[in-house]
Amino acid sequence: MRPGRSPKNPTRGFIVPIGGAENRVQNPVILRRFVKLCGGPSAHIAVIPTASSLDNTGEVYGSVFGDLGAGQISILPFKSRGDCESQQYLEVLDHADGVFMTGGDQVRLAEMLSGTSAAQKLCSRNLHGMHIAGTSAGASAMSSAMIAGGNSGATPRAGMVDLAAGLGLVSRFVIDQHFSQRDRLGRLLTAVASIPFGAGIGLDEDTAAFIGPDDTLEVVGTGSVTVIEGSSLHNSAADSTRRGEPVGLTGVRLHILTDGNLYDLASHTLLRSGPTAKSHGTACLNATALT
């Protein structure tokens, strides 16, 4: 399970999905870390506010990144698919050190960008060193199989999650956000049972996963990151279960990671416990059977 579409690549930029509602004023540790990653005072950050229905979202984040010391901020609104072919916007992506995708509606974001030159540029530039972060909808849209919507609840149920094509920045797992706050364990489990590669990442609010080119994930923020590993999953009858009924799953491994934890996505092992991590920073759930 590794981000991107290539083997481990030391030149690949970081992928940084954020669970939404990140602190932007009092203690913006996630956004400050992203600015530093992109180069600090020399950083050129491009903001894509396409997911948002508000006209000023791009400017709001531009102001935040400016206050955090980024040297240059560009706003790429992408209000039409024609905008995604604009040479002016594509040149910005050619020179940006980092891209930030705001929250809003991940379906809107994916439908606007998917298959365009802008989407291709995001993938190719990330593979060659540009860092990409996304919050809330911007995080969900990163994956190839994107969670487009669904229901709350801890129990996986047939029809509980709607999947759609995302931007393909990560191809081996699905991403969910506002995870604990909106009780989304069941829908992520259902999604993992529905995809052939069977892995998922659930991000709490004000919490980010900094995924590096070495396939390690570092947690930054006040909440937790839930990693669901379904490579050994069996007894899933999601396709044959009637809509709304519980789906039986066994062989699921579930890891709970907290601030400072460093986790290897390839071997599914905890490499480092953070200073705020509890003594059981990683938990394993071997079987979930609800029939």
Q: Tens digits of per-residue pLDDT, 190-200? A: 999 888 777 99
Integer CA distances (angstroms), 51 to 58, 223, 275, in order = 10, 24, 35
| Total domains present in the chain | 2
To the query of whether residue 136 is one of the catalytic residues in this protein, the response is yes
- 92 belongs to a structural domain: yes
Residues 277, 244 share a domain: yes
Structure tokens at 231: 């490579």
Residues 129, 29 share a domain: yes
Three-class DSSP category at 26: coil
- Candidate list 178, 229, 236, 255, residue with the active-site label: 178
Write down which residue in 139, 172, 204 finishes a domain: 139
The boundaries of the domain holding residue 107 are 13-139
CATH of the domain at 113: 3.40.50.880
Q: What is the pLDDT of residues 236-265, one digit of tens each?
A: 666 678 899 998 888 899 999 999 999 999
- 8 belongs to a structural domain: no
Tell me which amino acid residue 156 is.
P
Provide the CB-side half-sphere exposure for 119 (13 A, CA): 21
- Candidate list 136, 140, 194, 224, residue with the active-site label: 136
Residues 189, 86 share a domain: no
To the query of whether residue 218 is one of the catalytic residues in this protein, the response is no
- 2 belongs to a structural domain: no
Structure tokens at 220: 């930054």
pTM of this prediction exceeds 0.85: yes
- 107 belongs to a structural domain: yes
pLDDT band (50, 70, 90) for residue 289: very low
Residues 175, 132 share a domain: no
Distance CA 189, CA 200 (A): 8
Long-range contacts of 234-242 (CB under 8 A, 24+ apart): 235/289, 236/193, 238/156, 238/158, 238/190, 238/193, 238/194, 241/157, 241/158, 242/158
Q: What does the DSSP assignment read for 172-216?
A: S-EEE-STTTTT-HHHHHHHHHHSSS-EEEEE-TTEEEEE-TTSE
Q: 44: which strand partners?
A: 72
- Candidate list 205, 218, 236, 255, residue with the active-site label: 205
| Mean pLDDT confidence for 17-31 | 97
To the query of whether residue 273 is one of the catalytic residues in this protein, the response is no
- 80 belongs to a structural domain: yes
**198 dihedral zone (left: phi>0; alpha: psi -120 to 50; beta):** left
Q: What is the pLDDT of residues 260-283, one digit of tens each?
A: 999 999 888 999 997 644 433 444
Residues 53, 100 share a domain: yes
| Mean pLDDT confidence for 142-166 | 96
Q: Give the residue from 125, 105, 129 showing the smallest Cα distance to 14.
A: 129
